[in-house]
Structure 1
Amino acid sequence: MTTVSVSDRSAHDLKADAVVLGTVDDSGSAALAAGHGLPREAAAHVAAQLAALQATGKADEVLTLAAVPSVTAPRVVLTGLGSATSRTTSFDAEVLRRAAGAAVRSLKKAAKVVVALPASGVESVAAVAEGAALGAYSYAGIRGPQAGSTKGAKASPAKAAAVTAITVVTPDAKLKAVKAAAARAAVLADAKAYARDLVNTPPNKLFPQSFADSVKARNSAAKAKVTIKVLDEAALAKGGFGGIVGVGQGSVNPPRIVTLTWSPPRASHSVALVGKGITFDSGGLCIKPPASMLTMKSDMAGAAAVAATVFAAAELGLPVKVTGYLCLAENMPGGNAQRPGDVVSMRDGTTVEILDTDAEGRMVLGDGLVLAGESNPDAIVDIATLTGAQMVALGGRVAAIMANDDTFRDRVLAAADSAGEAAWPMPLPEDLRSQLESAVADLSHKGERWGGMLTAGLFLREFVDPATPWAHVDIAGPSFNEGSPYGYTPKGATGYGVATLLSLVEGYVG
């Protein structure tokens, strides 16, 4: 876990492997942003280098200078904040978050990093700290023996020279709230890193039982413990969880529902989080084209976000009961695989006709939503890489939020906005509900192609008590970045949803 601290000392005096400073696009050319605190000689040197390099100061521009005069650290990293003047002292939180993340992400062999961007006040310091800590992430992967080694292959070697300590420079360093914001940033980044690691793990290494084992292992190492309960395939069948049993029956790796509960004394509210956890989605008998399977190890990103959020809530000691339901299955075309035309009975007894085995996520979530509702929480949120239609509508970086209650939908949207995770509200049109009617069961599990994101939401709504505020977050696009890294977002798993869910839970404090 990368530590995050704050300091009101001048950045150029602090011992570190690198110092991060901001630049701005001031009328078409780059200039040092406010808050750098450099002595005159150092500032003049940096300004000359910016001119020589024809720097722009635009977002995501990162430049590295060596041996800047009067700066203790051997490297100065310059990160773009976008259009502003050198006197601008106030920046949008996401601009700061992204700039800090881009700078730290660019660093190699730098254990200690000082970040001196324009940051005064809790919100700005929190954004810089979060971005820097999130930018420090890297996935170790599954590696063989090191060159020249005679030892056997080893999985996930230690990350070489990873950033281990971040110091954010701010004049408000002595404020209790600012110190708390830095500590929270470290917890959030660690939680997102856990979610990213889960999603990045190859599917032959992460399947329902190994996912459950990972959750248990993390809990064993945590200071604040959560209560974990695992329902195996026998318990799921006995409990009437026909949706998830049907999805998982074609795989040699049977399904699981893992429940994680953080229940502090005197909790005044209770929030349930339900995550789709398809550890690999081949499409089942309605098999996907090969190219469409390349990122299907990420089809459990919702469950990863839920698990990480519960652990973060516990680590922060939030006085809110948070229960996470991880609906884990592997969707494979085995000899016992579910068929189009099958009818299954869900946890609440609702019968569902299967039309397309590649629309499996809503089936595991349906069972999870019923289970979550049985504890009568104040609110339920499910999060899932659910539909390709979400990406058609909103692209690869913006999630969709649907709900049975407009006020609660807006509350989830506000949590996403404050967390810096892009989201957009979407409707649940009643006229589309007729598409879910079946001649042989209570429901068909899929509607027409057009409006597929919305009919998926309507299907999930069937498994929630109308009196319980519920929201559905479709993260098919923003959960996995197939393109180049940007800001604090790496290539591969993004950890999307952890910050939103944690912010939502924090909103119930008090």
Structure 2
Amino acid sequence: MKLNKNITGIKTRFFYDKVDKEYKDLVDGKYGTLKLIPNKELLVCLGKKSELNNEKLRKLGSSIYNSLKDAEKSVIIKTPLKDEENYFLMEGLLLSTYEFNKYKSEKKKAKLIEFYLDYKNAEKDFKKLSIIVKNVFIVRDLINEPPSVINPKTFADIAKKLGKELKITVIGKKELEKKGAGGIIAVGQGARHEPRLLKLEYTPLKKKEHIAIVGKGVTFDSGGYNLKPTGYIEDMKMDMGGAATTLSIMLAASELKVKKNLIAYIPLVENMVSSTSYYPGDIIKMANGKTVEIANTDAEGRMILSDALFFAQKEKPELILDFATLTGAVITALGHNITAVVTNKDELYSDIFKVSKNTGEKVWQLPLYEEHEESVKGELADFKNLGWAKGAAGTITAAALLKQFVNDTPWMHFDIAGTAYSYENKDYFKKGGTGTMVRTVLEWINSK
């Protein structure tokens, strides 16, 4: 989508809840009502001014795009909104342009290819949003690709291709063995493609202080010997959503020239069933020397994350963020619209919560008490990779194991299992990968 102030095309007319007399037969003034008068103008209702917010404006931008994408080549949008409100309208419009049709024999393209949103900072905002949205779309693309296409090797290759401005180190299986990364090795040992750990560095500042970001990269999760059943296994190509999110945050930060040092760690594995897969009941020695008993091979994400978190904290970051499609329990707790956050520093959550209200990517903090940490203590090993029976507090007990590997480093865990994938076309999302948390984390890092 291009921004072009010199275009001619269909124009828009906006109304709050009171509609001009000549248009009352066409629209009612209620928020979200749109009416296209072919080859002339698009009528858009904002509803009550006092009830407008950032997310409503994003959704309205999405509605404008979806109303015109198959009908018009260009649109000129002039609103009664403030500049900062127009930003969110533009954001929703751009987020709605996503398509993933590379495997379709007939590729239908949108007719709408250019627009102009008429306000003071339009060109500046468009430049910034284009970078952010492009990287949100990278997450969506990576999640939507078939698991036969995205595996530990190809993900690493894509990261190197896209991350020309980053320092990228690929740590292979032999080096992981030397580093004692038992969690990563165990989960990946049954697969055709060997496990890897990516280290990505964006360090524009000379000082050593940095934020560490860790992303779970299970490019396909069969569950291992605790095999996932039909109805659950089909979408498990999306279990690398945390890795894709981490990669895109790093790519966008470098392109936006964020003034913050960032170092990311992405463990990449396939969790498969074979004669060499790890077993339920195995005891795995982790990179920090602690041991973990495998209560369930389908609780694999916390195994690879734990090693990566240990490597991250060794470099003494000021804080660690991790992103993972970690637990089905988070969907039971919060549904598909809210990302769970677990942290060892409550003030970190307060900051991210404020930013999320601005970006529309909802988050909610879950508690982490001593009882949760006790639940992952093992009898035959130091820890076990499941907490209480029957999945009780499953999202929290999974985070409780991760906490054992960050020591005292400030840390915030995002369980995106419910929000990384959309099961319907809605607003500015298409069915498939969402790219959730990229926009929120970029804004939050910029505010630090």
Normalised by the length of structure 1, the TM-score is 0.81
Measured after TM superposition, the shift of residue 418 of structure 1 is 2.1
Matched, 1:482 2:423: yes
Q: Give secondary structure in 2 for the equivalent of 1:292.
A: coil
Residues 437 and 443 in structure 1, CA contact (< 8 A), matched pair in contact too: yes
Matched, 1:420 2:360: yes
Q: Give secondary structure in 2 for the equivalent of 1:67.
A: coil
In the alignment, which of 459, 465, 468 is matched to residue 401 of structure 2? 459
The separation in 2 between residues aligned to 1:180 and 1:503, in whole angstroms, is 16
Residues 266 and 319 in structure 1, CA contact (< 8 A), matched pair in contact too: no
Measured after TM superposition, the shift of residue 416 of structure 1 is 2.0
Matched, 1:137 2:112: no
Matched, 1:200 2:140: no
Matches within 5 A, 1:303-382: 303-382=243-322
Paired position in structure 2 for 1:49: 26
Matched, 1:289 2:251: no
Name the % identity.
31
The separation in 1 between residues aligned to 2:304 and 2:371, in whole angstroms, is 25
The separation in 2 between residues aligned to 1:21 and 1:231, in whole angstroms, is 56
Measured after TM superposition, the shift of residue 462 of structure 1 is 0.7
> What is the identity, as a one-letter code, of the residue corresponding to 1:139?
F
How many residues in Structure 1 have an aligned counterpart in Structure 2? 445
Residues 105 and 488 in structure 1, CA contact (< 8 A), matched pair in contact too: no
Matches within 5 A, 1:78-89: 78=43, 81=46, 83-84=47-48, 88=49
Residues 130 and 188 in structure 1, CA contact (< 8 A), matched pair in contact too: no
The separation in 1 between residues aligned to 2:218 and 2:189, in whole angstroms, is 13
In the alignment, which of 208, 223, 233 is matched to residue 173 of structure 2? 233
Pair 79,398 (structure 1): closer, same or farther in 2 beyond 3 Å:
farther
Matched, 1:15 2:45: no
The separation in 1 between residues aligned to 2:288 and 2:282, in whole angstroms, is 18
Paired position in structure 1 for 2:158: 214
Q: Is there any run of 5+ residues in structure 1 with no aligned partner, and where?
A: 8-12, 33-42, 69-75, 147-156
Measured after TM superposition, the shift of residue 89 of structure 1 is 8.0
Query: Any idea what the Cα deviations from partners look like across 1:23-82, whole Å, max 9, x if unmatched?
Result: 6566xxxx47xxxxxxxxxx93x54433xxxx67344x55433022xxxxxxx445554x
Residues 111 and 163 in structure 1, CA contact (< 8 A), matched pair in contact too: yes
Residues 241 and 367 in structure 1, CA contact (< 8 A), matched pair in contact too: yes
Pair 20,339 (structure 1): closer, same or farther in 2 beyond 3 Å:
farther
In the alignment, which of 33, 37, 45 is matched to residue 65 of structure 1? 37
Pair 163,459 (structure 1): closer, same or farther in 2 beyond 3 Å:
farther
The separation in 2 between residues aligned to 1:117 and 1:269, in whole angstroms, is 43
Residues 91 and 118 in structure 1, CA contact (< 8 A), matched pair in contact too: no
Pair 377,337 (structure 1): closer, same or farther in 2 beyond 3 Å:
same
Matched, 1:116 2:109: no
Query: Any idea what the Cα deviations from partners look like across 1:166-202, whole Å, max 9, x if unmatched?
Result: 42222xx1x5xx6433321111111101111111111
Measured after TM superposition, the shift of residue 363 of structure 1 is 0.9
Pair 143,284 (structure 1): closer, same or farther in 2 beyond 3 Å:
same
The separation in 2 between residues aligned to 1:270 and 1:318, in whole angstroms, is 12
Pair 22,402 (structure 1): closer, same or farther in 2 beyond 3 Å:
farther
Measured after TM superposition, the shift of residue 21 of structure 1 is 5.2
Residues 195 and 270 in structure 2, CA contact (< 8 A), matched pair in contact too: yes
**CA-atom RMSD in angstroms:** 2.4
Query: Any idea what the Cα deviations from partners look like across 1:295-325, whole Å, max 9, x if unmatched?
Result: 1111111111111111111111111111222
Residues 310 and 322 in structure 1, CA contact (< 8 A), matched pair in contact too: yes
Measured after TM superposition, the shift of residue 268 of structure 1 is 8.2
Residues 302 and 497 in structure 1, CA contact (< 8 A), matched pair in contact too: no
Paired position in structure 2 for 1:126: 87
Residues 7 and 116 in structure 2, CA contact (< 8 A), matched pair in contact too: no
Measured after TM superposition, the shift of residue 503 of structure 1 is 1.3
> What is the identity, as a one-letter code, of the residue corresponding to 2:379?
A
Residues 26 and 35 in structure 2, CA contact (< 8 A), matched pair in contact too: no
Pair 228,20 (structure 1): closer, same or farther in 2 beyond 3 Å:
farther
The separation in 1 between residues aligned to 2:274 and 2:156, in whole angstroms, is 23
In the alignment, which of 173, 180, 187 is matched to residue 124 of structure 2? 180
Residues 103 and 135 in structure 1, CA contact (< 8 A), matched pair in contact too: no
Matched, 1:473 2:414: yes
Measured after TM superposition, the shift of residue 369 of structure 1 is 0.8
Pair 235,64 (structure 1): closer, same or farther in 2 beyond 3 Å:
farther
Q: Is there any run of 5+ residues in structure 2 with no aligned partner, and where?
A: none
Q: Give secondary structure in 2 for the equivalent of 1:333.
A: coil
